[in-house]
Copies of this chain bind each other. A is one copy, B any other.
């Protein structure tokens, strides 16, 4: 990849649209080492750009028509709005005109467009989402966090392999430990899904440490903790809600200016955090929080550059294939594993 990559930004995405995405693009371009393609309604984006001090910066506007909003059915919306900002953004990656894209809009639409235009890794039913999301376990990746709610055992294996690849290529772990989230630590504990996945994990060549209980997320038992997207999404949102509730509780008990309130608030996911990569598509795709502001957009560009530097997508594809082969599930046969 080039030292000066090109990143497409869905300028219409997120709760604030161009007013924040364009400012984020300007911040990123000003920081240097990147060319930004702003994809959106040309008039709106140009107007937002005109309000910034963007002269001479490597920013281009790519026109699109229409926006897919949160709550629309992703696949249907893509068909009815083929020139929407998200579709055009992904198309730029597909055509090699961008090295990656970022959207703060509908995650479902980013995922559907990426699968449709870029394709997914062999043996993967759907892409997955994961990462560290709890400030009290800041290096522990939990995967899946909502992309796949009804899973087969082989899907959990895929999450484990992709999560481990992420921890190794990006977070710097030599041999990341992978655990299955469960209700007991011994083999055989858990629901049917976990019990069946356990066998696949043992054969996968991953550094599998067995089951991890809910409290063990905080005791450094594993670097990657695998669960289905229903459980992961509940945990993600529970964590956000609990951090906010704890901050309110401490403010009530100790006063709003207490340093404890600030310390706890800083642990929750915040607006300035960057987007997360979709795991399992043939290209760099980052989906972020709708509440992201300009700083979050700029932080996402920095993340995208780092993902390109470590060749994240290539490593993930290779690591997934290797784990599937060792576990005896390969490529498109993956669906047939479940008895």
Interface string of A241-252 (1 = CB under 8 A from B): 110111001100
Task: Look across to chain B and name the residue whose beta carbon is closest to the beta carbon of A137.
Answer: B245
Closest Cβ of chain B to A309, distance in Å, is 31
How many residues of chain A are within 8 Å of chain B by beta carbon?
A: 48
Q: Does A192 contact B (CB under 8 A)?
A: yes
Count the copies.
Answer: 2
- Across the interface, A238 reaches (CB within 8 A) one of B192, B214, B258, B264, namely B214
CB atoms of A149 and B183 under 8 A apart: yes
Q: Does A259 contact B (CB under 8 A)?
A: yes
CB atoms of B219 and A241 under 8 A apart: yes
Chain A binding site: helix, strand, loop or mixed by DSSP? Answer: helix
Q: Which of A98-142 contact B (CB under 8 A)?
A: 134, 136-137
CB atoms of B234 and A183 under 8 A apart: yes
Q: How far is the CA of A236 from the CA of B183 in the complex (A)?
A: 10
CB atoms of A231 and B233 under 8 A apart: no
CB atoms of B238 and A183 under 8 A apart: no
Residue from A190, A194, A227, A231 whose CB has the most chain B CB atoms within 10 Å: A231
CB atoms of B150 and A230 under 8 A apart: no
Interface string of A218-262 (1 = CB under 8 A from B): 110000000111110111111111101110011001100011100
Q: How far is the CA of A238 from the CA of B182 in the complex (A)?
A: 11
Q: Does A25 contact B (CB under 8 A)?
A: no
Q: Does A290 contact B (CB under 8 A)?
A: no
Complex contacts, A214 vs chain B, CB 8 Å: 233-241
Q: How far is the CA of A231 from the CA of B194 in the complex (A)?
A: 12
Q: Does A80 contact B (CB under 8 A)?
A: no
Would you list the 10 A-B pairs with minimal beta carbon distance, nearest first?
A215-B241, A214-B237, A260-B260, A214-B238, A218-B245, A218-B241, A214-B234, A136-B245, A215-B237, A183-B233
